[in-house]
Homo-oligomer: A and B are copies of this chain.
Amino acid sequence: MDLETLKLLADPLRAQIVALLARESLCVCHIVEETGAQQTNISNHLRALRRAGLVDTEPSGRYVYYRLRPHAIEALAAQLGELASTAARSSDQKRPCP
């Protein structure tokens, strides 16, 4: 299980950023407008997302466009789905206690 990605997505602001980036590529100023958070704060979170490989950057003049990489999120969704199906399949398994 990819705890790194999970931890990153668990923060409200980062989750909002990821949701915004899922719809379209945005530069930092757009994200600042949408979220109302401080720019440096957004930049910090974007750095974390970048280091984890969750987003891609594309400098365009003065601006930096951010794009979501679906790869990691897709893999995480698959892992969670498998976990859920495993649980549903072995719901009657019970290890004896004493």
Interface residues of A (CB under 8 A from B): 1, 3, 6-7, 9-10, 12, 15, 18-19, 21-27, 29-30, 60, 63, 65, 67-70, 73-74, 76-78, 80-81, 83-88, 90-91, 93-95, 97-98
Closest to A21 in B: B87
Q: Measured between C-beta atoms, what is the minimum distance from A78 to chain B in Å?
A: 8
Find out whether the CB atom of A22 lies under 8 angstroms from the CB atom of B83.
yes
Contact A97/B63 with A73-B84, A87-B68 known, Cβ cut-off 8 Å: yes
Chain B residues with Cβ below 8 Å from A91 are 25, 67, 70
Find out whether the CB atom of B23 lies under 8 angstroms from the CB atom of A93.
yes
- Of B23, B30, B88, the residue contacting A86 (CB under 8 A) is B23
Chain B residues with Cβ below 8 Å from A86 are 22-23
